[in-house]
Structure 1
């Protein structure tokens, strides 16, 4: 649907129709189908500056209200996009339902129905918690009823998460990588950052021998000294624009284009398990290398920007435990040796 198909002050907005009249400070979602009598009735009331009639309490109305809330507007764009994906699923199955009639067992059943994709199932529950909190704020459910989505036992991560790339996989990738794929690889390894933050990197962020950034996911400011290896590699890279990762015209490269290129390189590899080593796993490589170098949690966290030590432990995995245990036992041996000598 284009603007030509809509009347004055009405715009298509991310799957919804919105009435926007800035002179009056009006910005209202319209759930009616354009062209229907209900749509024109609502439109005419908005033109006259009148508030629409009280909304029936449904998930459709709850979702529209949440999208207008400060809580949603303050989310990072990436988080907003993630929320919209899961909210659209909830809207599809429960759009006409009254939120007040949703009980814990309904949310539990929704969670179990998506068990084959445990990450998505857990995210659905987390989004439901947010929606039902908003339902309480706008009076759709009573405070004493509590939040029916809270307390649902989430599925546990079935592994230690993304696999770090072993040496043979790294060697084969380095040999086959295109220049841009190799640059992404070196930046991920050298800085320990997520691919999203690598793609946002500008040459100006690398002044003074460090990567100066604000993480997209955590909004945390970081200043990360470059490794000698990364410094040497960046010195060989031709600067084709302000961005470090660019397309052929020197414009910032898109996530999709870079991801497709990384996949294409891995597709050429001979390693039998090549499919399980994704770009995000390189962040785990960086984390493990920092631990193997003898750094404590606080120092590793200063580089990777992980928001919690628990997440660091997952990224460090068994190698982290082995290194810490080795150092602990070596210290114990030194203590025993010193005691014998005294």
Structure 2
């Protein structure tokens, strides 16, 4: 659908049509299908400046209302995109249904029906929690009903997540990598941050031997001293733009561009399993190195920005348990020795 094919003041917006007339302060979602009598009637009312008639209570109206809410508008672009994807699925299957008639067992069945893709299934439940919370706020769901999406047991991750890169893969990658791919690699390992944050790193974030920034996920403010290795590598890099990672013209680059570049480097490596190790796994490498260096949970979180111990268990894996247990038993041995001396 092109802009020219739409009536005046009507624009596409998140899979719907929106009537926008700034001179009158009008901005209204239109759920009717273009070309139908219902659309024509609604459009005529909006041209006359009238408020739309009250909407029937269903998921379609609930979703439209949520898209207009401050809670949705305050989300980050990446989160908005994820929400739109899963809300779109809910809209297709339950668009005409009354939210009050959706019970916990319905959402449980939806979750189980998508069990083959456990991440997506869990995300559907999480989005349903958000939508049903909004349903209560706008009167679509009575207080005594509670939130039917809450309490549904989510599928557990079937592995420890992305694998850290083995030493032999890292050594070969360092030799084979392009200059930009190597820079991404060094930043991921050196700072322990997600690739999304690495691509947003600016040169003015690096001052006095440290990196001062706010994480994109969770908006946690961190100040991280640089390792000697990362300091030396950055000193060898020519500053070509505002961000550290740029294209030839000094402009920021997208995640897809970097993902493709990293993938091509690994495709040319001799290691047979190189392609199976993803960039996010380097965050796990950084976490493991911190534990191997003698850091406790709080010290690791101060660098990586992980929000809780559960995530540290995932990223630190068995290394975390082993290192913590070693230090604990060493402490017991020292305690026993001191007892014998007294």
Classify the TM-score, shorter chain: over 0.9
- Counterpart of 1:126 in 2: which secondary structure? helix
TM-score by length of 1: 0.96
Q: Deviations over 1:169-218 (max 9, x none)?
A: 21121121111111100000000110010001111111222112111111
| Structure 2 residue 53 is the aligned partner of structure 1 residue 44 | no
> How far apart in 2 are the matches of 1:323 and 1:297?
11
User: Quick check: 2:195–2:279 contact (8 Å CA) kept in 1?
Assistant: yes
Q: State which drifts further: 260-269 or 223-232.
A: 260-269
Partner of 1:315: 315
Partner of 1:90: 90
Partner of 2:126: 126
- Counterpart of 2:208 in 1: which secondary structure? helix
> How far apart in 2 are the matches of 1:329 and 1:145?
51
Q: Deviations over 1:100-159 (max 9, x none)?
A: 221211111110111111111111000011111111221222222222211111111112
> How far apart in 1 are the matches of 2:101 and 2:268?
53
> How far apart in 1 are the matches of 2:13 and 2:288?
44
What 5-or-longer segments of structure 1 have no aligned partner?
A: none
| Structure 2 residue 8 is the aligned partner of structure 1 residue 8 | yes
The alpha-carbon deviation at position 96 of structure 1 amounts to 2.0
> How far apart in 2 are the matches of 1:148 and 1:104?
5
> How far apart in 2 are the matches of 1:14 and 1:138?
21
Partner of 2:234: 234
- Counterpart of 1:223 in 2: which secondary structure? strand
| Structure 2 residue 259 is the aligned partner of structure 1 residue 253 | no
Q: State which drifts further: 121-130 or 168-177.
A: 168-177
> How far apart in 2 are the matches of 1:74 and 1:35?
33
> How far apart in 2 are the matches of 1:294 and 1:25?
60
Moved over 6 A (4+): none
Partner of 2:175: 175
The alpha-carbon deviation at position 276 of structure 1 amounts to 3.2
Partner of 1:99: 99
> How far apart in 2 are the matches of 1:151 and 1:143?
16
> How far apart in 1 are the matches of 2:65 and 2:56?
12
> How far apart in 2 are the matches of 1:96 and 1:175?
57
Partner of 2:286: 286
The alpha-carbon deviation at position 287 of structure 1 amounts to 1.1
Partner of 2:59: 59
Alignment of 1:138-287 (within 5 A): 138-287=138-287
The alpha-carbon deviation at position 282 of structure 1 amounts to 0.7
User: Quick check: 2:62–2:131 contact (8 Å CA) kept in 1?
Assistant: yes
> How far apart in 2 are the matches of 1:22 and 1:302?
47
Partner of 2:303: 303
The alpha-carbon deviation at position 272 of structure 1 amounts to 3.5
The alpha-carbon deviation at position 315 of structure 1 amounts to 1.2
> How far apart in 1 are the matches of 2:320 and 2:307?
18
- Counterpart of 2:53 in 1: which secondary structure? coil
Q: Deviations over 1:301-331 (max 9, x none)?
A: 1111111222122211110111111112222
The alpha-carbon deviation at position 49 of structure 1 amounts to 1.8
- Counterpart of 1:56 in 2: which secondary structure? coil
Aligned length: 342
What RMSD over aligned residues (CA atoms) do the two structures have, in Å? 1.5
Partner of 2:330: 330
